[in-house]
């Protein structure tokens, strides 16, 4: 074996080992969290921990259902708001706006994607909380009297507020990815569609968006993952009151990331408290992995359908 082949073999094996190391991180994280959560699982069943909202650590009750529900509420609200907003914005940037407008807007979107979550949290407290409390909640309560709303002493810190802030946080990331994916669609495909008599919107809707659909799904996956794991901004605007299941979008929410950040390291003198918080981290990890697997499954289905 000459020097060139030797170097190539070393590089190949080194890259393989690094790839295995990265893949093993997932299993190491699951194993580590499970080992630290075993004490709570030894005294309570997973069913009681996951489906009970009774969280009283000093009394030995560690039900996580309320926190899981809060995570799903806030993430769902963020995705419902962010996906249409991001898709329409990216479509405009890719297909309709002029070059100089795109050159102005794109750096602003990239700037928004890089802003610290704490800044979004502070902005949510001073802008979004009063907006929801003083305008949105009264407006909807007058027109939807049958809908379950918050009590009269509503402060504005709620699942809806957290969802709005999260949607604004993840939108720049989704917009950037979708816009790049749509611009990567061949210009010849657009010309072929127009030559057959399709309008600009028909070409965008039936050709460009369809060709870019795998990339759009991937962008939503990344946005979903960031929304589900976001901590600081949610902690500042969601209310984080331990009241069980949120019954309305105007109720306070206490997502799992906020629980972990707010309580880990405190009250560790309470038996099993540490194990319960690490079990919450494990559940958050598994929820994120589950939704990513589902989303990537949809992505593979779309790719195979179009192949």
Question: Is residue 216 within 8 Å of residue 181, measured between CB atoms?
Answer: yes
Record the tokens describing residue 251, joined without a space. 């109720």
pLDDT greater than 90 at residue 82:
yes
Q: Where are the domains of the chain?
A: 68-268+296-306
pLDDT of residue 241: 73
Does residue 151 register a pLDDT over 60? Answer: no
Structure tokens, 117: 């979550």
What percent of the chain lies above the pLDDT cut of 90?
A: 12
Is the pLDDT at 304 greater than 80? The verdict is: no
Check residue 267 and give its pLDDT: 61
pLDDT for 120-150, tens place per residue? 989 999 999 888 888 887 777 776 655 555 5
Q: Which residues pair with 62 in a beta bridge?
A: 55
Q: Tell me, what's the pLDDT at 172?
A: 92
pLDDT in tens, 6-25: 788 888 889 999 999 988 88
pLDDT confidence band for 85 (50 / 70 / 90): very high
1: pLDDT strictly greater than 70:
no
DSSP state letter for 91: H
User: Residue 70 — very low, low, confident or very high, per pLDDT cuts 50/70/90?
Assistant: confident
Task: Name which CATH class applies to 68-268+296-306.
Answer: mainly alpha
- Name the most confidently modeled range: 187-196, 233-242, 277-286, 295-304: 277-286
Paired strand residues for 253:
239
Distance CA 67, CA 49 (A): 11
Instruction: Please give the pLDDT value at position 79.
Output: 92
DSSP letters, 227-277, are HHH--HHHHHHSB----SS--STTS-B--HHHHHHHHTTSSTTSTTHHHHH
Q: What percent of the chain has a predicted confidence (pLDDT) above 70?
A: 92
Cβ count within 10 A of residue 134: 12
- DSSP annotation of 199 reads -
């Amino acid at each position: 074996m000459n020097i060139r082949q030797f170097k190539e073999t070393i590089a190949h094996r080194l890259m393989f080992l690094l790839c295995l190391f990265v893949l093993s991180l997932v299993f190491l994280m699951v194993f580590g969290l499970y080992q630290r959560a075993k004490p709570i699982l030894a005294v309570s069943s997973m069913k009681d921990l996951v489906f009970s909202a009774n969280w009283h650590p000093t009394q030995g009750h560690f039900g996580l259902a309320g926190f899981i529900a809060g995570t799903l509420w806030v993430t769902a609200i963020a995705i419902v708001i962010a996906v249409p907003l991001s898709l329409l914005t990216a479509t405009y940037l890719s297909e309709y706006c002029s070059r100089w407008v795109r050159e102005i807007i794109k750096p602003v979107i990239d700037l928004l994607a890089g802003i610290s979550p704490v800044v979004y949290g502070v902005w949510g407290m001073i802008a979004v909380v009063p907006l929801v409390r003083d305008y949105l909640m009264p407006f909807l309560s007058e027109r939807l009297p049958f809908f379950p709303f918050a009590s009269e002493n509503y402060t504005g810190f709620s699942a809806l507020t957290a969802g709005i802030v999260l949607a604004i946080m993840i939108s720049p990331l989704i917009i950037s990815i979708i816009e790049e994916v749509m611009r990567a669609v061949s210009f010849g495909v657009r010309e072929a569609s127009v030559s057959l008599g399709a309008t600009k919107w028909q070409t965008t809707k039936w050709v460009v968006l369809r060709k870019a659909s795998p990339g759009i799904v991937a962008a939503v996956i990344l946005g979903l993952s960031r929304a589900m794991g976001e901590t600081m901004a949610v902690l500042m605007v969601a209310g984080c009151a331990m009241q069980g299941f949120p019954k309305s979008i105007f109720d306070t929410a206490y997502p799992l990331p906020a629980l972990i950040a707010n309580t880990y390291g405190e009250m560790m003198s309470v038996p099993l408290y540490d194990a319960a918080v690490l079990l919450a981290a494990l559940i958050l990890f598994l929820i994120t992995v589950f939704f990513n697997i589902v989303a990537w499954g949809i992505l593979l289905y779309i790719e195979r359908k179009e192949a």
